Amino acid sequence: MQMPSHDVVIDDTRRWLTRAVIGLNLCPFAKAVEVKQQIRFVVSDATDAEGVVQDLARELEFLAEADPEAVDTTLLMLPVALADFMDFNDFLDVADALLVELQLDGILQVADFHPDYQFADAEPDDVANCTNRAPYPTLHLLREASIDRAVEAFPDAADIYETNIRTLRALGAEGWKKLLTD
């Protein structure tokens, strides 16, 4: 697979973030960090899992050391590596092990998005899968403290998943496609 330019990857991801994640309110916590420009967008040039491990380690260490007022969260986009969803899904165990190895478990966590994301109990074409679909395989690095503050401010956080499914089912697959195209 040919690597798209970093600018294209970031632009595609920003479009998804603003139109879907924030625009549909799939994550009620995303707007604040986006408005404050506290999201770090990083494109990985890795072509395999080993390269992703190196990039992920670097970005986890960067985020752990960064001032949260400047960088609160990181989106690590993988335009070439881990294109197969099952390989990506298996890699999440490696990401969790890396958090432990770097002694960042409980400080940071890794959330995941993939263009072919599929929940275990869902059909591949179920629009509900789109809650975790992004233009590229993406590892979202988050601060545990930020998550705790966001959940405190949003008492119905446990209901987000169900609300998102209702939103996406109302939008439908065609609406989702249209949302992300110019």
What residue segments make up the domains of the chain, in order of their start?
A: 6-180
CA distance 123 to 57: 33
Mean pLDDT along residues 40-69: 98
CA distance 45 to 37: 23
What is the model's pTM? 0.95
CA distances from 102 to 51, 68, 109 (A): 17, 19, 12
Statement: residue 1 has pLDDT above 70:
no
Longest dimension (CA), the chain: 44
Statement: residue 115 has pLDDT above 80:
yes
Paired tokens of 98: 């890396």
Mean pLDDT along residues 140-154: 88
CA dihedral of 69, 139, 169, 178, whole degrees rounded to 10? 90
Statement: residue 28 has pLDDT above 90:
no
CA distance 150 to 99: 22
Q: What percent of the chain has pLDDT over 70?
A: 98
Q: Please report which helix (H) or strand (E) contains residue 156, including its range.
A: none
* 3-class secondary structure, 101: helix
